[in-house]
Amino acid sequence: MASHPKIPLRLVEKYQKMSLWHLLNIPNALTLARLCSIPVFLALLSKHQFTPALYVFGFAAVTDALDGTLARLFDARTEIGAVLDPFADKLLLLSAFVTLAIDDGIPGWLLGVVVIRDIVLVFGFLLMLFFSAERIPVRPSYMGKSATFFQLMCVIGALIRLSTNQPAVWTLLLYTTVAMTAGSGLHYAYRGLLWLSSHEPEMFE
């Protein structure tokens, strides 16, 4: 029986280090920093320290913009990053919207639109997994990215409004966020139906 050549331990250790760096690269580290900032942000909100909470949330928003940009520029995209980044976004935004709604920083109906849209997305993704054994890529659309941007701006606007008592362009920002959130939900639903119709055509007969 032929024996497999023994791989030198030095090469194994080098590969393990490369794999670890591939996972813990700069974009993923920024995403983890965003996740770690969420408890700090919520603690400040619970104490009604809106100005420090605004700074922490601003930091989290900057990491959201940087991680994707750096991943594309340096070709550092990973599978774990593709899952971890939207998860960090959802956790940050949902926790912010829920806490601000409790403190009357944003209207409850805005929270309802955001939550319903995310429930529809999760349900649609699980439905696609159920009807297909294929691996489903996680790719945000431009409308989804725009909705996330306006949701971030809406939280920042609410924090500025609470800390300075100045409405500024709050009403316009509020309704723009609702429109983009609802529009992105419909767009994702349309994309999901197209995907299902191409992979499971008998469902649409």
Map out the domains of the chain as residue ranges.
9-200
Residue 57: the pLDDT is 95
Q: Give yes or no for residue 97 having a pLDDT over 60.
A: yes
Q: Would you place residue 18 in the very low, low, confident or very high pLDDT band (cuts 50, 70, 90)?
A: very low
Q: Determine what percent of the chain falls in helix, strand and coil, rounding each to the nearest 5.
A: 80, 0, 20
pLDDT of the residue at 126: 79
Percent of the chain past pLDDT 90, that is, above it, reads 39
Q: Are 155 and 93 in contact (CB under 8 A)?
A: yes
Yes or no: is domain 9-200 CATH 1.20.120?
A: yes
pLDDT at 28 over 80: yes
Pick from 147, 140, 165, 141: nearest CA to 110: 147
Q: What percent of the chain has pLDDT over 70?
A: 79
Q: Who has greater pLDDT, 35 or 124? A: 35
Between these two residues, 138 and 70, which has the higher pLDDT value?
Answer: 70
Residue type, 111: L
The residue type at 170: W
Q: Please tell me the distance from the alpha carbon of residue 46 to that of residue 90, in angstroms, as a whole number.
A: 19
pLDDT of residue 133: 62
Closest alpha carbon to 63 in 30, 89, 38: 30
- 61-73 pLDDT per residue, tens: 999 888 877 777 7
Question: What are the residue ranges of helices labelled H in 24-141?
Answer: 26-46, 50-73, 79-102, 108-131
The total number of residues shown for the chain amounts to 205
pTM over 0.85: no
